[in-house]
């Protein structure tokens, strides 16, 4: 995926969001694999070394946490809907 920000203060990003599962598929993890080039030339590189990189990592962690939470909640809703439908079908027989 490619992301272009609305402001020249932020870097463009190229990468992917991945889901990795353990061999048993009991546990999975979301990962971001990609990178960016800090805007602003040499000054942007210095900012990135001092602070920007930490901001980017914190932003990525927050994004992955939000995506993961939404995936888990959707899974729970879907499973509850299936359970209700199975009970409805079972009661109708």
Q: What domain range is 86 assigned to?
A: 2-92
Question: How much is the average pLDDT of 2-16?
Answer: 93
Q: Stretch 11-26: mean pLDDT, rounded?
A: 90
Average pLDDT of the chain to the nearest whole number: 92
Residue percentage of the chain with pLDDT more than 70:
99
For 25, residues 6+ apart whose C-beta sits below 8 A from its C-beta are none
Return the higher-pLDDT residue of 93 and 52.
52
Global pTM reads: 0.76
Please tell me the distance from the alpha carbon of residue 40 to that of residue 8, in angstroms, as a whole number: 8
Give the position of tokens 């992917």: 16
What's the number of domains the chain is made of?
Answer: 1
Mean pLDDT of 39-57: 95
In the predicted structure, residue 93 carries a pLDDT above the cut 70: no
Backbone phi, then psi, for 32, in 5-degree steps?
A: -110, 125
């Amino acid at each position: 995926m490619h992301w272009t920000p609305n402001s020249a203060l932020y870097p463009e990003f190229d990468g992917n969001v991945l889901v990795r599962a353990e061999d048993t598929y009991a546990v999975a993890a979301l990962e971001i694999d990609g990178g960016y080039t800090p805007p602003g030339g040499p000054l942007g590189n210095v900012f990135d070394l001092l602070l920007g990189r930490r901001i980017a990592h914190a932003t990525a962690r927050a994004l992955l946490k939000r995506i993961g939470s939404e995936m888990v909640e959707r899974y729970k809703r879907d499973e509850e809907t299936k359970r209700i439908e199975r009970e409805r079908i079972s009661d109708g027989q």
